[in-house]
Each structure stands twice: as structure tokens, then as C-alpha cells.
């Protein structure tokens, strides 16, 4: 686990390949790679039956369109692989890309159980490469500003977190999020943000969690959910997440002397971040200038590779995210019964560093 990652030669560009020619990739992530200093997109791969789509997506970048995923990870002109496949494929393709000597930025959830993250950790250590979960929202400066205000004692001691994340997936859309065989369901898709926020700000995993799930009629995945986390000593979080409702990406930190509320944790490029601080002194609204968290994420990853440092979203956080996510699923399956999550490992570093870029 401690094998150092070799730094890349100074000035060398990080050559990216993307697995899966998705609309999301071509609309957000690939443009972010192209805009990032020191990064270049050299390859895209689709499944063989979708090769034409890979050709289309690769064209504007002059990148190679591979006929399958295996060909891309064998491409000597690729240093780092970005993976946006269905959730069930994240572990397998991350491990395969690492074994082929590539660094990997893999979409959330890195894995749907802690064992999957540990497999990736072992493969990364064996290959002396980085594997990082793509939790882009943490790279937006508004999250760091909220953490700084908290650390400065602006609202006293953190006691409670409220958070809600949602967006709507239409019935009959064929979306992977509605397919149980592809790791669908609101929890691993959008719930993972709600799961991450309280842990990021408390700086640790909860001791126990509980959740209730519900499904849109005719669907076999949970499409809406609510839950709680117990951080001990009276500290806690309530959260809800859904793929049934309109867009929502909000959180509020309740301290002993006030609250910090972040209006849109998914603020996209072009949209300012807005924080509201309420204390006995009054209400202060603060604007954090617009930033592209996808580009900041890509840049932080590229710098970590260049400097031979660990990935910018700590792998311990990915382990903990998978463990807590699985505990919420287990609780819901048991009708909402509390499920222990810390398991003696509450001290793991959480949120040690990705947001500062």
C-alpha cells in the first residue's frame, strides 16, 4: 500500500483516454480535460457495437476511437483512464486499467462495497499508479469556503448537517439509473453526494446510519430515500436523495451559534456559489465566484500524477463512502433498522485535501 507513485517527467502532458462515449463525458468531462493545462485527450472507447459513437466523440479532439475498452487500456499513448461506465463496471475496469499501468479517475461510486475499493487500492499499489474517485463537487471552492468558515468558528461547533440531493430521471428513458442489473437506484447515483457531505464536514464516518427507500411504481430500484447518520455525542445528520424530483443539491451546517447554508452544491461553470451564514449577528450572504469543478478535479488529478502524490480525493474517503452507502442499503432492506458503520475505524481521514486546488 505504500509503494510511491513515480512522478512524471516535468513538462510531460498527461494523455487521457475515456471509457464509454456518454453524453455526460462528451458534454462536460472531455471539454474539461481539453481546457486543462498539461492534459490532452488521446483516446475514446465504446463497446464494439457503439464504435460509431466513439468515433463521433473522439473527432473534435483528434483522438483515437478504439473498438473496445480493452484496446484503449492497452494503448501506449494513454497515461490516465477516465471511467464513466455503469456502476457495476467501475471496479473491474479500474483494476484492469491499473494493471495495464494507467492512472485512473473513476466516476462515483468507485465501488458499491468496501471490498471493491480495497481491490482497487491493492491494484493501485501493485502498479504504483493512482486511482481516484471522481467526486467533482468537492473541488468547487464554495465547499472549501464553507469548511473554512466552519474551521474559523463562524457558527461555533458543528452539531448537525441537513442535506438533500435530487434530480429527475423520466420513466421509460432506458437510463442506467433505473436498471438494477447495472447498479442503478438513487442511492449509488445521487445519494452518494448526500452521504459524502456530512462526513466531509464532520471529518469522520458516522457510528451508525438508518434509511428508508421507496420505488416509483413499476421500478425495481429505489428512486427516493431518506436517512440519518449518528456521529455520537448528540451530533447527527438527516439526508434525503431522489431521482424522482426536480434538481436539488443543498446542504446546511448547524453549529452551536449559527448555520451555514450552501444553495447549490452542484454549481456548474458560469454559476456563482452562494453561501448564507446565519448567526445572532444577522444574516450574511456570500458569493463564491463561478468555477468549473470538473476542470478543477482534472487539474488536481494531473498535478498529483505529475508530482507522484496520492490521488486528490483520498482513497480512505472512497472506502468509507462505500461502507456507509452499503450500510444505508442494508438498513433500508431491514425496514430502517440502525446499522453500525464505523466498526472501530472512525478515525480514518475524511476530506483531507481535495477541495483546495
Ligand X SMILES: NC(=O)c1ccc[n+]([C@@H]2O[C@H](COP(=O)([O-])OP(=O)(O)OC[C@H]3O[C@@H](n4cnc5c(N)ncnc54)[C@H](OP(=O)(O)O)[C@@H]3O)[C@@H](O)[C@H]2O)c1
Least separation in angstroms between residue 101's CB and ligand X is 22
Under rule CB under 6 A, which residues in 298-357 are in contact with ligand X?
Answer: none
Nearer to ligand X, 50 or 159 (CB): 50
Asked if residues 195 and 328 have their Cβ atoms less than 8 Å apart, the reply is yes
Q: Pick from 39, 58, 72, 85: which binds ligand X (CB under 6 A)?
A: 85
Minimum CB separation of residue 130 from ligand X in Å reads 18
Residue whose C-alpha is closest to residue 61's, from 101, 97, 25, 100: 25
CB atoms within 10 A of CB 28: 18
CB of 226 to ligand X, least distance (A): 20
Q: Cα separation of 64 and 44, whole Å?
A: 6
User: Which 39-68 residues touch ligand X, going by CB under 6 A?
Assistant: 46-47, 50, 53-54
Task: Name the residue nearer to ligand X (CB basis): 131 or 134.
Answer: 134
Nearest residue to ligand X, by Cβ distance, number only: 46
Count of CB atoms within 10 A of residue 289's CB?
8
Quick one: angle between helices 315-333 and 192-202, nearest 10?
Answer: 120
Burial degree of 265 (CB within 10 A; 0-12, 13-18, 19+): buried
- Binders in 170-199 for ligand X, by CB under 6 A: 176, 182, 189
Distance CA 226, CA 248 (A): 14
Nearer to ligand X, 23 or 280 (CB): 23
Binding mask 8-37 for ligand X (x = CB under 6 A): ------------xxxxx-------------
Distance CA 349, CA 48 (A): 41
Name the residue nearer to ligand X (CB basis): 164 or 260: 164
Instruction: Report how far residue 332's alpha carbon sits from residue 23's, in angstroms, rounded to the nearest whole number.
Output: 32
Choosing from 87, 187, 242, 264, the residue that interacts with ligand X (CB under 6 A) is 87
* Positions in 120-159 near ligand X (CB under 6 A): 134, 136
Site residues (CB under 6 A) for ligand X, limited to 105-124: 107-108
Residue 18 and residue 82 in contact, taking contact as beta carbons nearer than 8 Å = yes
Binding site for ligand X (CB under 6 A): 20-24, 46-47, 50, 53-54, 84-87, 107-108, 134, 136, 176, 182, 189
Amino acid at each position: 500500500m505504500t509503494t510511491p507513485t513515480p512522478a512524471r517527467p516535468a513538462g510531460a502532458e498527461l494523455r487521457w483516454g475515456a471509457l464509454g462515449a456518454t453524453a455526460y463525458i462528451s458534454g462536460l468531462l472531455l471539454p474539461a480535460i481539453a481546457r486543462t493545462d498539461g492534459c490532452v485527450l488521446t483516446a475514446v472507447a465504446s463497446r464494439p457495437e457503439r464504435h460509431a459513437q466513439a468515433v463521433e466523440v473522439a473527432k473534435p479532439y483528434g483522438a483515437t476511437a478504439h473498438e473496445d475498452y480493452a484496446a484503449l487500456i492497452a494503448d501506449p499513448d494513454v497515461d490516465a483512464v477516465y471511467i464513466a461506465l455503469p456502476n457495476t463496471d467501475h471496479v473491474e475496469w479500474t483494476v484492469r486499467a491499473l494493471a495495464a499501468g494507467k492512472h485512473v479517475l473513476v466516476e462515483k461510486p468507485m465501488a458499491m462495497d468496501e471490498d471493491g475499493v480495497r481491490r482497487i487500492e491493492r491494484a493501485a499499489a501493485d502498479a504504483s499508479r493512482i486511482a481516484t474517485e471522481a467526486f467533482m463537487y468537492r473541488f468547487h471552492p464554495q465547499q472549501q469556503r464553507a469548511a473554512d468558515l466552519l474551521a474559523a468558528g463562524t457558527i461555533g461547533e458543528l452539531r448537525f448537517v441537513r442535506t438533500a440531493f435530487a434530480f429527475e430521471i423520466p420513466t421509460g428513458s432506458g437510463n442506467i439509473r433505473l436498471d438494477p442489473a447495472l447498479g442503478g437506484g438513487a442511492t449509488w447515483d445521487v445519494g452518494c453526494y448526500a452521504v459524502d457531505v456530512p462526513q466531509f464536514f464532520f471529518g469522520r464516518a458516522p457510528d451508525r446510519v438508518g434509511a428508508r427507500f421507496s420505488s416509483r411504481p413499476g421500478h425495481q430500484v429505489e428512486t427516493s430515500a431518506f436517512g440519518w447518520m449518528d456521529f455520537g455525542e448528540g451530533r447527527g445528520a438527516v439526508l434525503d436523495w431522489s431521482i424522482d424530483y426536480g434538481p436539488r443539491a443543498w446542504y446546511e451546517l448547524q453549529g452551536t451559534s449559527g448555520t451555514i447554508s450552501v444553495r447549490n452544491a452542484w454549481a456548474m461553470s458560469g454559476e456563482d456559489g452562494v453561501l448564507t451564514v446565519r448567526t445572532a449577528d444577522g444574516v450574511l450572504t456570500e458569493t463564491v465566484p463561478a468555477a468549473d469543478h470538473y476542470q478543477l478535479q482534472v487539474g488536481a488529478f494531473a498535478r498529483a500524477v505529475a508530482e507522484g502524490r496520492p490521488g486528490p480525493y483520498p482513497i480512505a474517503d472512497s472506502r468509507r463512502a462505500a461502507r456507509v452507502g452499503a450500510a444505508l442499503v442494508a438498513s433500508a432492506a431491514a425496514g430502517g433498522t440502525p446499522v453500525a458503520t464505523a466498526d472501530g475505524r472512525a478515525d480514518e481521514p475524511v476530506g483531507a485535501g481535495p477541495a483546495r486546488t
